[in-house]
Amino acid sequence: MRTVTRWLTALLATFGAAVAAYGLTTGPPAGYAGDPGEADCLACHGDFAMNLGGELRILGAPPLYREGATYRITVRVVSSQTAALPAPKWGFQLTAVSAVTGDGAGVFALVGGENSQITAGTTSHPTRRYVEHLAAGTRTGVRDSAEWSVDWTAPDADLGGVEFFAAGIAADGDGSGNGDFVYAASVAVADTVTPVLVSTWGSLKQRYRR
């Protein structure tokens, strides 16, 4: 029985390492961007505290979004921990969520040459979409920082505020979930509300007086 138990333990450990390596090289499963009700990369790469020796930046998100406008969003992962690594790999996942409904907000479109992909949401949040790296987008051997860009078209309907959530990883490249550094951040974007012009009868007469 002990032999069987040891064999099962070794098998599960090997399977877990394979899953972690697969998730890094081909992109994580949906729901690991740190968005509400979902997880982040620490679920599989939990050796170190979040944001140790670096940070994740979400760039290009406007303070106010204009309905139907397209913005180029960049996820940049910065980590001083990669300086001593022989062949670091990088990864990320990004999503946009309505602050009112919790649904996915806007439409993502891939940018050529970024080697990223868009995946469907989880069963808990099926309307969300996630942008993440492909195997060719892990920026192998790059040190200090890595980044990816994607175009985001703001929702046509007035959903209120939108929040971007992103998680990233600076991995040691050994194919396991150990020894990797995880970073996460979020950025809130308000909707642009068209102001209502209030007119009085006196101001109207003044405007059209000859």
Buried b (16+ CB within 10 A) or exposed e, 23-49: bbbbbbbbbbbbbeebbbbbbbbeeee
Residue 159 belongs to some domain of the structure: yes
Residue 21 belongs to some domain of the structure: no
Beta strands in the chain (DSSP E): 54-59, 64-65, 70-79, 89-98, 107-110, 116-120, 129-133, 145-153, 162-171, 181-191
The total number of structural domains in the chain stands at 1
Does residue 207 carry a pLDDT above 60?
no
Residue 67 belongs to some domain of the structure: yes
Residue 142 belongs to some domain of the structure: yes
pTM above 0.75, yes or no: yes
List, in sequence order, every residue forming a beta bridge with 145; answer none if it has no partner: 78
Residue 103 belongs to some domain of the structure: yes
The candidate with the shortest Cα–Cα distance to 45, out of 109, 93, 86, is 93
pLDDT band at 178 (very low <50, low <70, confident <90, very high): confident
Q: Which pLDDT tens digit goes with each residue over 137-166?
A: 999 999 999 999 999 999 976 788 999 999
Report the CATH number at residue 143: 2.60.40.4060
